[in-house]
Amino acid sequence: MAAMTNPSHRSWLVPGRSARAALFTAVGATGLVVLTACGGGGSGNASDRSSAGDSDVASIASPGKAVGTPTRATDPDAGRPVIRLDSSTEETNRMWDSWYACLRAKGGPLKGAPTTPAEKAGAKACASKQPITPPELDPAQNPDYSDDLRVMVKCLNAHGIRATMVGDSDYSFDQSQPNPPHFNEIETACQVKAFQK
Nearest to 159, CA basis, from 180, 177, 134: 180
* pLDDT (average), residues 43-50: 41
Burial of residue 23 (number of CB atoms within 10 Å: 0-12, 13-18, 19+): buried
- β partners of residue 185: none
Dihedrals φ, ψ of 40, to 5°?
A: -70, 150
The predicted pLDDT at position 135 comes to 86
> What's the mean pLDDT in 35-43?
42
Helix (H) or strand (E) holding 2: none
Half-sphere exposure of 97 (CA within 13 A, CB side): 8
Q: What percent of the chain has pLDDT over 70?
A: 62
Mean pLDDT rounded to a whole number for the chain: 72
pLDDT tens readout for residues 62-72: 344 444 444 55
pLDDT of res. 128: 94
What value does the CA radius of gyration of the chain take, rounded to a whole number of Å? 20
User: What's the confidence (pLDDT) of residue 22?
Assistant: 39
At residue 63, the pLDDT reads: 42
What whole-number distance in Å separates Cα of residue 15 and Cα of residue 4? Answer: 8
Task: Please report the pLDDT score of residue 34 as a whole number.
Answer: 36
pLDDT value at position 24? 41
Give CA angle at 92 (86, 96), nearest 5°: 155
In the predicted structure, residue 146 carries a pLDDT above the cut 80: yes
**What does the pLDDT average to over 2-15?**
34
* Rounded distance between C-alpha atoms, residue 122 and residue 119, angstroms: 5
pLDDT tens per residue, range 76-118: 678 899 999 888 889 999 999 999 999 999 999 988 899 999 9
